Amino acid sequence: MNHDRSRDLYDRALSVLPGGVNSPVRAATEPYPQFAARGEAGHLIDADGNRYIDWVMGLGPLLYGHDLPQPVESAIQSRVSEGPVYGLPTEIEVELAEFVSRHVPSVSMLRFVNSGTEATVSVIRLARGYTGRDKVVIMQGGYHGAQESTLVEGDRRAPRPSSVGIPEEFANHTIRVPFNDTEVVQDVFAEHGGEIACVLVEPILANKGIVAPIEGYHETLRDLCTDHNSLLVFDEVITGFRVGGLACAQGKFDVTPDLTTFGKLIGGGFPVGAIGGKTEIMEHFTPTGDVFQAGTFSGHPVTMAAGLESLKFAAENDIYEHIHELGDRLRRGLTEVVAEQAPEYTVAGTDGMFKLLFSRESPSGFEDHCEAGCEQRSDCPRYDRCPKTGGDVASGETDRWRRVFWGEMKEQGILLSQNQFESQFLTYAHTEEDVDDTLEAYKEAL
Ligand X SMILES: *Cc1c(COP(=O)(O)O)cnc(C)c1O
Preceding omega of 287 cis (within 30 degrees of 0) = yes
Q: Min. distance of Cβ 125 from ligand X in angstroms? A: 15
Judge whether 94 and 100 are in contact, CB under 8 Å. no
Residues 131-170, one symbol each (x = binds ligand X by CB under 6 A, - = not), give ------------xxx-------------------------
- Residue 407 CA to residue 388 CA, distance in Å, equals 27
Catalytic residue among 135, 208, 264, 410: 264
Nearer to ligand X, 202 or 258 (CB): 202
Residue list 379-438, contact with ligand X (CB under 6 A): none
Taking the alpha carbons of 50, 51, 56, 58 in that order, is the dihedral positive or negative? positive
Judged by CB under 6 A, which stretch of 99-107, 230-238, 361-369, 400-408 contacts ligand X? 230-238
Judge whether 66 and 78 are in contact, CB under 8 Å. no
Q: Dihedrals φ, ψ of 291, to 5°?
A: -90, 110
Nearer to ligand X, 345 or 421 (CB): 421
Catalytic residue among 54, 235, 258, 328: 235
Active site residue 351: no
Active site residue 217: no
SS3 231: strand
| Nearest to 130, CA basis, from 284, 235, 274 | 284
Nearer to ligand X, 116 or 352 (CB): 116
120 in contact with ligand X (CB under 6 A): yes
Q: Min. distance of Cβ 263 from ligand X in angstroms? A: 5
Catalytic residue among 52, 143, 345, 383: 143
Residue list 60-119, contact with ligand X (CB under 6 A): 115-117
Q: What residue is closest to ligand X based on CB?
A: 116
Q: Min. distance of Cβ 24 from ligand X in angstroms? A: 11
Q: Min. distance of Cβ 23 from ligand X in angstroms? A: 7
Instruction: Spell out where 31-172 has E strands.
Output: 36-40, 43-46, 51-54, 109-113, 135-140, 152-153, 160-161
- Residue 56 CA to residue 59 CA, distance in Å, equals 5
- Residue 438 CA to residue 258 CA, distance in Å, equals 40
**Could you give the C-alpha distances from 62 to 82, 316, 341, 425, in angstroms and in order?**
24, 17, 32, 8
Residues 186-205, one symbol each (x = binds ligand X by CB under 6 A, - = not), give ----------------x---
Active site residue 388: no
Q: Min. distance of Cβ 348 from ligand X in angstroms? A: 15
User: How many Cα atoms occupy the beta-carbon half-sphere of 271 within 13 Å?
Assistant: 9
Residues marked as catalytic: 143, 235, 264
Binding-site ranges for ligand X (CB under 6 A): 115-117, 120, 143-145, 202, 206-207, 235, 237-238, 263, 273
